[in-house]
Structure 1
């Protein structure tokens, strides 16, 4: 006998409920699989709207599920496609009930249930993240448009990959969205809404609100979907989830408060402007893996893509535009080497992303193994040519290990924190098998009367210090953090063993106070050295002078190039002179104007997501 998880819907009730936990340390539990925490921030902390649906586990097969639906007055709708033994039930109006929850509990076979919430999903940009080659001459981020070699390069180094004959053929990229305009000319033949087992890459440009006060992560179903995707998808090699890291910079948001983009299973992508600068909307985040180009200041060029109304636009903006570019680069790598696992892809991005095009920005540091990292950009600008070249002869990374270490409980008043104070918590790791770190999660429990005043830092045994949480002026919540994982990739490649230092501080002059609860570290990585690290530290070359193939020479001479690639070749290169050293003096004024607009809520354009 199996247990079945299904969704039931009540069409005869319009109840709207708000959830407010009375104790921030309750309603939390471990979720099976890699020591994942599941707490009260899983999508209901700021939820104001609920729909009449439940996910329910019952003991029995499909026939039993149908009988349960019949007894409760629900309509059986079949399994939700990604989950094993998961069924959909929707209720028709059959008899009134003051409390629909009680009707569910009337059946003894019901094992558990939870209300399904409608979550506010904000698109990380104002347009849909879709690509259209008809505007090739405007796609400055895909081709080297320099007329003078000494000017900085502005592209993602894609043309050399085309010249080698790789165009992503056969790789399925799905946009995680609600299906808007699925009959668009450029989409209708490739739009696969449900067949997750046939998708290689998911690109998501939505998430919890970037309002600078929300803390929200995947709920139970979304967490299980992620885990199933990386363990079962692509014949066990794992689906690659690419996630926009958010547009909340104007609200001083931090994407470590977004449990989707900060998940270890996602490739979190930030943005850089045409001038290689951190955009006004960008969020700092220790979990950001890499960066792609997008919009910047008002006069900077934006991204070309398809648009609603069966049209095209040159105005795609935000991290919504950056994430699909990253997904496209990953598709090129999977065309070159279909055997790459989801972890291989993350290693490739870390090992090939470029520091030089973004080096004018503050915050860059070198970690304990020589990798350059910035909480604004991750490991740098994605380099399609370098990534695909490395993928061609890639050796699969070794088996992953997970270590979870609890900090020694704080005694007496050691865990108390007030405005103007700092608490340091040492965590000593002695016997973890991980010699080469991938992700680190600091799982925190904090009661505090104003969560947004908190800052959290983590220092590794090799001396890499990274800010996991920055202050958020708009976060006035007193809910604190409950089993909330703050993720960092800054220590990638380092050894896990030694003394880690956690610093939690409130440097405001307010009258805040609270208490620090249990703290633990979850380290993900390998015991054996990955093959690409055996040749020594990463070598950084001058990105501006890397070899650039002539597109036509590469296509015509390369026998691996198929007819479709030649047919879609551009007729000519753009010769527009982009003098990036001569930044318009009005840019700073435009940035200030945009920040003022964002503070007044004028540029947020919400759209529904999953």
Structure 2
């Protein structure tokens, strides 16, 4: 049966127009008159001065050079009034040499700048970025230069992200998100009684929670787009890791990860075949060839004497490993040390007081996020600010910049040493506390690094017995040759195979030609 046309009433409904009554205008601001006049005269500058004096006014010169407009002022008249000065206006009206004049009024103008201090209710708790301590991460300086992460896409590889959280939803990017545990596009975390799947939501808020929306605090890069990859809430395989690390590598700029092998002081583990390939492909082909940026938490195994060099994710040359420090400059009990750490951010004020403010499950806020899990997303947000300042930075450029923008400051460690290029470095903090203001300033001016060169040197040509101690020296002059010339040393990778009866007693150290010692394995 054919559908019949509706009654004519439909036509009338379609034409119905509702006009809302306009709100009555508010009272106009009163005009404020000054004791100054702009006057156009038909004579030159000298005659204009005489004309002004004849009428009891002072000529303060031309308004615009070469133009017959002059500034006349009366010192005795009230400086501000709500009405025109009748007498002086009448005199200027009757003066034949005055072609035009106007008594000046105050114009209301506002600076079109955004306040760098967010209005979010918990921003006063964000001690690590609101100038509450000295030094903080210098985020306000980066914001004052106009960098807030705009145009940068960041994703958090974790247990999901509460995408409808009111402090995340405005910045949420579905293209930077996926659920590899359930194989669907929705990264919403699985809710359980203990809220154990809150980790990803907390990390995301640190980096990119919205600002000035009256909710929680502000993310470091509060105008960046943020996504989440749910991959830790289920069986974790090499394939799941590789899928997560390579998700939309032309769309996502920064991958932030606060996980790794067990921090028990015994485990030596790292990426499998697929994840290793994902790191390499991300660095060489991600972001249009500039390289994906992988930010990694160094680990929380300090109490177990763990060493993050035994974590193949943190010590990969393709990741930027981040350590933790307390506000007073002390090393946290959970902090691991290793030569792979490049930089450090805060994780808590003391062991018992306030920690990091961020978003939490069930649309809530928290000020109890801590550990290196809290430090890495702060660094990821700061990297987003640098990428907004200079989108052409490669993954290697960013490592150079992070090193140069990190300061030893008040960070306390017994192993601070000056390396061959004069920079202080520590296994606990890398090159020090990351400074966002300095990072964006250097990023703007950075001209780029030369193409990566690789040089391989074989140190041992035959097996050797370690005994209680074995020292191996090798000549690296081959790397100064014409074809393999290393101008600036960025990474050293040592590959060795050994058998040892008690690996917990094993110590491996690497010493550079200029005397800098890097501990590759410590007693565990």
The match for 1:222 is 275
Q: Deviations over 1:313-368 (max 9, x none)?
A: 0000100000000001110011111111111000001112111231x322100011
Q: Name the SS for the 2:250 alignment partner.
A: helix
- Cα 1:365–1:300 change in 2 (3 A) is farther
Q: Deviations over 1:416-437 (max 9, x none)?
A: 43xxx21111121121111310
Distance 2:500 2:438 in 1: 46
- Cα 1:395–1:225 change in 2 (3 A) is same
Residue 180 (structure 1) shift: 4.7
Among candidates 120, 123, 145, match of residue 136 of structure 1: 123
The match for 1:186 is 167
Q: Name the SS for the 1:212 alignment partner.
A: coil
Residue 296 (structure 1) shift: 5.9
2:469 matches 1:422: yes
2:360 matches 1:307: yes
Higher CA-based Rg: 2
Q: Which runs of 5+ in 1 are unaligned?
A: 1-130, 147-152, 473-610
Runs of 4+ in 1 over 4 A off after TM superposition: 131-134
Q: Name the SS for the 1:423 alignment partner.
A: coil
Residue 408 (structure 1) shift: 2.7
Among candidates 358, 371, 393, match of residue 445 of structure 2: 393
Distance 1:305 1:466 in 2: 35
The match for 1:363 is 415
The match for 2:498 is 446
Q: How does 1:439-478 map to 2 (within 5 A)?
A: 439-472=491-524
Q: Deviations over 1:108-131 (max 9, x none)?
A: xxxxxxxxxxxxxxxxxxxxxxx9
Distance 1:233 1:440 in 2: 23
- Whose strand proportion is higher, 1 or 2? 1
Residue 274 (structure 1) shift: 1.3
Q: How does 1:564-583 map to 2 (within 5 A)?
A: none
Among candidates 142, 156, 160, match of residue 137 of structure 2: 156
Contact 2:249-2:287 at 8 Å conserved across structures = no
Contact 1:202-1:242 at 8 Å conserved across structures = yes
Deviates more, 1:224-233 or 1:312-321: 224-233
Residue 293 (structure 1) shift: 0.5
Q: Which runs of 5+ in 2 are unaligned?
A: 1-117, 178-246, 480-484
Distance 2:366 2:397 in 1: 34
The match for 1:30 is none
Superposition CA RMSD, Å: 1.8
Distance 1:308 1:281 in 2: 24
Distance 1:409 1:415 in 2: 13
Contact 1:232-1:238 at 8 Å conserved across structures = yes
Among candidates 330, 346, 358, match of residue 383 of structure 2: 330
Distance 2:441 2:418 in 1: 24
Q: What TM-score do you get using the length of structure 2 for normalisation?
A: 0.61
Q: Name the SS for the 1:448 alignment partner.
A: coil
Q: How does 1:94-493 map to 2 (within 5 A)?
A: 134-145=121-132, 153-188=134-169, 189-191=172-174, 192-193=176-177, 194-295=247-348, 297-358=350-411, 360-410=412-462, 414-417=464-467, 421-432=468-479, 433-472=485-524
